[in-house]
Structure 1
Amino acid sequence: MFIQIDGNSLTYDQIHQVIHEGYSVKISSDALENIKKSRNIVEESIINNKVIYGVNTGFGKFSDTVISKDDLADLQINLIRSHACALGEPFSLEVSKVMLLLRANALAKGFSGIRLETLQLLIDCLNHNVAPVIPSQGSLGASGDLAPLSHLALLLVGEGEAIYNGEKMSGGEALKQAGLEPIKLQAKEGLALINGTQAMTAVGVVAYMEAQELADLADGIAALTLEGLQGIVDAFTPESHSVRPYPEQQKVAGRILSYLEGSQLTTTQGQIRVQDAYSLRCIPQVHGAVQQVLNYVREKLTIEINSATDNPLIFSDSGKVISGGNFHGQPIAFAMDFLGIAMSEIASISERRIERLVNPQLNDLPAFLSPDPGLQSGLMITQYAAASLVSENKTLAHPSSVDSIPSSANQEDHVSMGTTAARHAYQIIQNSRKVLAIEAICAAQAADFRGSNKLAPETKRVYSKIREAVPTITQDRIFSLDIERLAKLLKEDVREVNYQLMH
């Protein structure tokens, strides 16, 4: 099985197919022609001694330095080596592979002037399960993700480090074992490989897909909590949501009602109390607003994964070579900051529901859901852990996009910090998943005290899935193991869990 890329039509489903289902990648026939045409413009410009940034000039502040024809190849390899100064823990293998795919797709648009054989090697690496080791820190998110993408480019010239079939080795050895040959970069090619937003966008794509799945899961977990706390269903009925017609809010309210249909544990207004606390009553308003953010993020990432983001851009139809700023990551920086803020709120409201589940002053359940209150602490400290993660998220959610530090002797005087924003959003999502795992554990335990046989059919499926990873608590144990195990289940089996929630 394979997908075709042309720089214009890559989808999230296709990204998933390549990264997780082993689909191969091919260049479409139309894209092949466009790639060849833009390369011809580069070579003709060199023959005619036309000065083009990054082809026969230096980079950044050195843009006014003209390079001789004899040194054009050296210029490109020097660029890759000098710019490969990313630091810190490497991106995950998943992110590295997405970076390969997204960079290949951007180059396939045919505005970058790269040779077909260079692009084909990038695709061959993806198809042969060779992924570069790319440190995660060091990008300013303008002039592209220069540092991380340089580590990607090192692989193509047989340098740097790579993962081949799960084993870490030198880039050259990885190519050799995969039966591939490194290339020698020619004019413009080094710049074409590293001048783009594919690091922040790759992290953004992975973060978005996990966030969307987690936000959907949050509705089902919240529904189970409502049963554990004998929540009032009136707040979810269509009337109140029809007069504030946010589609996402209405959708969440409808889903909560569908999950709770047939429950013997929920209540109505005045049956036990007149209204619930905000963390229960306002689930549609908060979760719905998160879904609004996710729609925004999806829209921006969809544009970005099918964009030409390098510089200069080569327009073969007109023959123009234009130095612009499509490498500037501001659209993705804003989107990633917004994503981090939204997912922080998913965790924040979840933690408040956890507090209502364990606090004996806020419910009629055994204190801290303990099987023997006093002798056994039960789930008391799980709320501490959730509160700690929520507090950490508040720091991580400080917008990176409001920051800028000039670089390259002030030639590059405003940057996006988009990759930092994406990395922080991704970490927030990991933290938020653990908070939701804690809520799920507490909600399931509350259901045991209420009588799990009284759950709605849909939430009973959620309960059963939780109990696959976390047995009913009959005595104190090391709860961090339960939380980590369930968080892993929520990540690895999320589509199956969501199926249980949605069907």
Structure 2
Amino acid sequence: MELNGHHLTLEEIKRVVHHFETVTISDEAIQSVMESREMVETAVDKHDVIYGINTGFGKFSDVEIDEEDLDQLQMNLIYSHACGVGEPFSKSVSRAMVLLRANALLKGYSGVRLVVIEKLVELLNKGLTPVIPSQGSLGASGDLAPLAHLALVLLGRGEVFNEAGERKKASEVLPLKGFEPITLKAKEGLALINGTQAMTAVGVLTYLEAEETLLQSEQIAAMTMEGLESIISAFDSKIHQARGHQEQIQVALRMQGYLKGSQLITRQGERRVQDAYSIRCIPQVLGASWQTLDYVKEKLEIEINAATDNPLIFTDEGEVLSGGNFHGQPIAIAMDLLKIGMAEVANISERRIERLVNPQLNDLPPFLSPEPGLQSGAMIMQYTAASLVSENKTLAHPASVDSIPSSANQEDHVSMGTIGARHANQIVQNVRRVVAIELICATEAVEVRGIHKMALATQQLYEKAREVVPSITQDRAFSNDIEALTHWLQDSSEKPVSQN
């Protein structure tokens, strides 16, 4: 996969991060990088005072640095800013960060030597994954602490994950892979850490999981409808065309497709006039979540090809300009919206779980128990779903509305975007577990109704789910079932069923 700084896609990120596709650098990008670097070196030779090249950082921006100390300035920057704490990001997130930083530097606005970018690409191609603590970023000036831990590895410091996923000193692993550390020159340390690549990496991978989870939630909801003998009339296209939201219209069409040929669904007035909102309003609620994901995708696709450091080198105009592209507000708000959109997927799923297990709301065996009273069946699975949904409500509080001044008030407004991205990821993991619980309950319900009466699409989903989790014939430790089905939903490279 060729990087050029301008046309990276979400699908390409997925291929590099998860499938270890080899990365190369385009010739055109190399030329831009070399021209940008030449401007930096000219500025150094002329003793021009430019932030980040021959000045201190943050509140120290007015402190001019002697020419003989410029390289040490950049090395000190990496060492001092590597203040991350907490559990490390996953290997996938770290790989995505390396890829995104290389892509940003290839735009030719950062003034680094080509070797710096080549070393980032070498990390990817040799499977060398930096250990990057997940906490410590304010989201402006960019993801300073996380990216400093990434940069440490280029210097032969810090830690990497080995092939077994164990944390090892970079100084022990790099020589085994033939990786030669580098010494940073003027501007390069700042260029490596001034950016939004931590929040964006988490955001991209979270979005990809959210997209698949939301689609799976529709398919599972269709099976729930069969288990409850729900009314298909509410999904009539005329209803949704009358409102006009395209995402809502598309969800309704997909729900009709999943349930095509089913003998378990009913028509308006056959068994009841209307279903509860958690059934009847699936297109309206999930359609709104799709709208949120569309917005998030748009912002991520821009950010993965953005120049987000400071200052920026404009070779055509011969200018070096200081600005604030490192500020993570666009991604911070997108991540907060993603949290809300996905939390609602779990909210409505948990209400359908309640309708599947509550004997006051259906004519199924109470709590889907094989022996009601003696055995509790799915009773406590609903508790677990309710707990996850409640946790999501706390996590969904927007991170982007908070700001704490830093660097002696020079950096007096920050985005907290990386916190938002981390919380969005946790919400998606919780949502997947909730819809896994709904799937367990739905498979039990359709067994009571009659598998042979199911739609082809939902029957395919049922059969695949049953390969992972057997029927409930007696009480057991259902935690194992929930986790097994959750991992299946996450790891399957295919969608559970066709949309058609």
Residues 305-361 of structure 1 deviation map (CA, whole Å, 9 limit, x = unaligned)? 000000000011111000000000000000000001111000000000000000000
Q: Does residue 328 in structure 1 map to residue 327 in structure 2?
A: yes
Match of 2:92 among 83, 91, 94: 94
Give the partner amino acid of 2:113: R
Return 280-289 or 16-25, whichever deviates more.
Answer: 16-25
What's the counterpart of residue 58 of structure 2? 60
Give the partner amino acid of 1:208: Y
What's the counterpart of residue 502 of structure 1? 499
Are the counterparts in 2 of residues 55 and 188 from structure 1 also a CA contact under 8 Å? yes
Q: Distance in 1 between matches of 2:246 and 2:72?
A: 56
What's the counterpart of residue 417 of structure 2? 418
Q: Distance in 1 between matches of 2:431 and 2:149?
A: 30
Q: Distance in 2 between matches of 1:465 and 1:395?
A: 33
What's the counterpart of residue 224 of structure 2? 225
Q: Distance in 2 between matches of 1:365 and 1:333?
A: 44
Q: Distance in 2 between matches of 1:164 and 1:72?
A: 33
Residues 32-58 of structure 1 deviation map (CA, whole Å, 9 limit, x = unaligned)? 000000000000000000011011000
Match of 2:144 among 127, 143, 146: 146
Residues 407-461 of structure 1 deviation map (CA, whole Å, 9 limit, x = unaligned)? 0000000000000000000000000000000000000000111111111001001
Give the partner amino acid of 1:502: Q
Are the counterparts in 2 of residues 41 and 314 from structure 1 also a CA contact under 8 Å? yes
1:168 offset after TM fit, Å?
2.3
What's the counterpart of residue 32 of structure 2? 34
Give the partner amino acid of 2:2: Q
Equivalences, count? 499
Are the counterparts in 1 of residues 257 and 499 from structure 2 also a CA contact under 8 Å? no
Q: Which runs of structure 2 are paired with 1:102-501 in the superposition (5 Å)? A: 102-166=100-164, 167-493=166-492, 495-498=493-496, 500-501=497-498
Are the counterparts in 2 of residues 217 and 501 from structure 1 also a CA contact under 8 Å? no
Q: Distance in 2 between matches of 1:174 and 1:101?
A: 20
What's the counterpart of residue 18 of structure 2? 20
Residues 355-383 of structure 1 deviation map (CA, whole Å, 9 limit, x = unaligned)? 00000000000000001101110000000
Q: Distance in 2 between matches of 1:63 and 1:501?
A: 57
Give the partner amino acid of 2:137: S
Give the partner amino acid of 1:258: G
Q: Distance in 2 between matches of 1:157 and 1:181?
A: 9
Q: Distance in 1 between matches of 2:333 and 2:379?
A: 37
Residues 392-413 of structure 1 deviation map (CA, whole Å, 9 limit, x = unaligned)? 0000000000000000000000
Are the counterparts in 2 of residues 465 and 497 from structure 1 also a CA contact under 8 Å? no
Are the counterparts in 1 of residues 235 and 253 from structure 2 also a CA contact under 8 Å? yes
SS of equivalent to 2:426: helix
Are the counterparts in 2 of residues 220 and 501 from structure 1 also a CA contact under 8 Å? no
Q: Distance in 1 between matches of 2:297 and 2:408?
A: 35
Residues 114-150 of structure 1 deviation map (CA, whole Å, 9 limit, x = unaligned)? 1001110111011000010000000000101000000
Are the counterparts in 1 of residues 399 and 417 from structure 2 also a CA contact under 8 Å? yes
1:171 offset after TM fit, Å?
1.5
Are the counterparts in 2 of residues 462 and 501 from structure 1 also a CA contact under 8 Å? no
Task: Report runs of 4+ in structure 1 exceeding 3 Å deviation.
Answer: none
1:177 offset after TM fit, Å?
1.3
Give the partner amino acid of 1:171: A
SS of equivalent to 2:498: helix
Are the counterparts in 2 of residues 218 and 436 from structure 1 also a CA contact under 8 Å? yes
What's the counterpart of residue 85 of structure 1? 83
Q: Distance in 2 between matches of 1:22 and 1:88?
A: 26
Give the partner amino acid of 1:128: K
Q: Does residue 5 in structure 1 map to residue 17 in structure 2?
A: no
SS of equivalent to 1:501: coil
RMSD: 0.7
- Aligned-pair identity (%): 62
Q: Distance in 2 between matches of 1:227 and 1:502?
A: 17
SS of equivalent to 1:136: strand
Give the partner amino acid of 2:291: Q
SS of equivalent to 2:243: coil
1:164 offset after TM fit, Å?
2.9
Residues 251-289 of structure 1 deviation map (CA, whole Å, 9 limit, x = unaligned)? 000000011011010001110000000000000000111
Are the counterparts in 1 of residues 212 and 495 from structure 2 also a CA contact under 8 Å? no
1:470 offset after TM fit, Å?
0.6
SS of equivalent to 1:275: coil
SS of equivalent to 1:401: coil
Q: Distance in 2 between matches of 1:329 and 1:98?
A: 17
1:172 offset after TM fit, Å?
2.1
1:468 offset after TM fit, Å?
1.2
The answer for unaligned runs of 5 or more in structure 1 is none
1:12 offset after TM fit, Å?
1.1
Q: Distance in 2 between matches of 1:173 and 1:339?
A: 40
SS of equivalent to 1:502: coil
Are the counterparts in 2 of residues 312 and 323 from structure 1 also a CA contact under 8 Å? yes
1:21 offset after TM fit, Å?
1.9
The answer for unaligned runs of 5 or more in structure 2 is none
Are the counterparts in 2 of residues 142 and 416 from structure 1 also a CA contact under 8 Å? yes
Q: Distance in 2 between matches of 1:114 and 1:294?
A: 35
SS of equivalent to 1:274: coil
1:173 offset after TM fit, Å?
2.1
Residues 73-127 of structure 1 deviation map (CA, whole Å, 9 limit, x = unaligned)? 1101100000000100000000000000000000010100010011101110110
Q: Distance in 1 between matches of 2:299 and 2:266?
A: 41
Are the counterparts in 2 of residues 333 and 418 from structure 1 also a CA contact under 8 Å? yes
What's the counterpart of residue 44 of structure 2? 46
Q: Distance in 2 between matches of 1:17 and 1:94?
A: 11
Q: Distance in 2 between matches of 1:456 and 1:144?
A: 50
Q: Distance in 1 between matches of 2:334 and 2:320?
A: 30
1:501 offset after TM fit, Å?
3.3
Q: Distance in 1 between matches of 2:141 and 2:217?
A: 38
Q: Distance in 1 between matches of 2:494 and 2:6?
A: 31
Are the counterparts in 1 of residues 141 and 326 from structure 2 also a CA contact under 8 Å? yes
SS of equivalent to 2:23: strand
Give the partner amino acid of 2:477: I
